[in-house]
Structure 1
Amino acid sequence: MDSTAIDRFDTGRFEAGRNRLAALAYRMLGSAVDAEDAVQDAFLRWQAADRQQIDAPEAWLTKAVTHLCLDRLRSAQARRERAAGAWLPEPLLDGDPMLGPADTFEQRESVSLAVLTLIERLSPLERAVYVLREAFSYSHAEIAQMLDITESASQQHLHRARHRITASRRRGGGGEVDSASARRIIEEFLAAATSGRTERLVEMLTDDVIAISDGAGLAEKLLRYDTPQRVAAIARSGFKPTPAKRRLAGGAPALHYVLVNRAPAILFVVGEQVVGAVTFDVIDGKIATVRGIAAPTRLTRLVEVWRQHKPDAPLMAQW
């Protein structure tokens, strides 16, 4: 086989694993843009390497992407951005290959916005071990080799990561909500919010509910609200359509029910443009977390996937 054919073969082998590598990088970084950059950097390293000396390409590429992600997490710029209080994981639409494997509960949970947010509290190495073990089922021996640590250290990092995530997880969490129940809850929430029924909204929220908004990218820090009464008031105000909101959105959006990061969500869509997403964590039949994401930089990947998506009929054709 000549060198050109070898290059085509090796490029094809890389492309066959690109989605898996992107899913790994996204879980590590919480950003689709950064994940794509890490995978592209890994491809450049793959092209420059003596590939005939690589016995296990999947392991080599996984190690390369993991270390590129660790470099990004340890950078001064990343620490500044994430410490500024204005960071949320980038939401991904159901069906996006970057969400990665979803065969087990651990794999599905590892890409939830709740867990991606909790992962921010881990050290870079704890984060890497947690993702490689929980989402991709690598053994501690394989993780140790990828991260240049001992198996014992890998086990310790995983133990600490699990403990921190479990300790921070919302009370009563850990289960999954069936799709029909989730949709019914969100439809009821939308009906109550748009009609101004604050008392019904309060009934639908957990006692320790939290609402988080990125302020459409206009606020320096995330906006946070707690208590059922405050969150209900914010929801009633936020879901009330006004001419000013429609001008800001570029028209009267249609409201679609979707899954975002495996959880129920409402998208505000004008034409083919997603201008906002509201995601929900549901615990024991009640809403525990509401996240409003409207900063255009956080919606880039979601918009791209939405345009290839065949949506169901909207919950509300014109908001």
Structure 2
Amino acid sequence: MARRSESFDRVIQLLAQRVEAELRVHRASGEQIRNIHAHVANGMTSADCKKHSDDIFEQLNRSMQQADDRRVLTTVGDEAFKSGDDDELLETLTACWLGLYFLGFPYHPAWEAVLYFSEKNGFPRGAPLCKAAGDVYRAARLHHEEQRQPWSDASLKTVYTLEHNPFSFLTDEDQEGEPKGESDPKTDPVTKLGICYEYLQFRVYVESSYGLELCIPETSLRARLKREDCTPEKVWALMSDSFGEVDSSLQRVVVVNDQRDLHTLPSCVLWGNEGVYRTRKQDDDQREGARKRAGDGTETFGRPGNYLATRLVRNYRDKLKFAIPEGYSVKAIGKQEFINYCRRLI
């Protein structure tokens, strides 16, 4: 597997820093996030933008050639990209798409190659999975903006999100709520760029005031609150940062009690007949332990997340729909009552 070039890595690192900085500015000011490409390019000359895009395309051409070589040797569903050793290529292809996207001209064949090799075994944790989740918010928003054919079932036009680590894309933590270290993949610029893309699509969807039900299992909230550096006030602040000044009756954050067993489901983003799930790291560790105990290495390989089959999208959405009325609507009870509720959980 060819390594990424130093010039490519520098460009991705620069873009990750610029995009993250712009998102933080918008989040702090409460301004709507629009035309992110112009903000990212602010301060760059046209020559700079061309040089950055040339560096990305140079890496993309090499990576696409590697992907094409693999296509010739195998078909989807066989051994194609089954090993974790191939995650680097999928991450690099995603980084190329993200880099070009934030420069203002996404190159879709790069992402199509990732989709081809992820169809059965899923996405690596990091940028590819964040890109897939962000695309669900984007597809839902575009459906509303373009006034496409309405769904016969009203619940299909609402995005349902189940999140075990509330608003992790706003914190200095990983998906499990643990502080990031220098070796944590979230400190990698490629992963950071993917996280920025997911947050951008989430925030733009929220700012558009379309329907959203964001569900947090009580078990997951309790686990977060038991951390020494986490307080009820901080959780409220993170929620406020996520939604900014938006006050839509169509959007709710709901804490669902343990009796509904939502803590057994993976985190997921659902809309219409589309959905993306991501497993928790503890589930990955359990699968790895099972493979080691088996000893023969024949267990089916599966990555930490993927698109959900339509029947599972419906199943997960139904579970969330039935659980929501019994939960606590965070906005409805207000800041002080939510803080008191959190203190009772600890």
TM class by shorter-chain length? Answer: under 0.3
Which structure's relative contact order is higher, taking Cα pairs within 8 Å and 6+ residues apart?
2
TM-score (norm 1): 0.25
TM-score (norm 2): 0.23
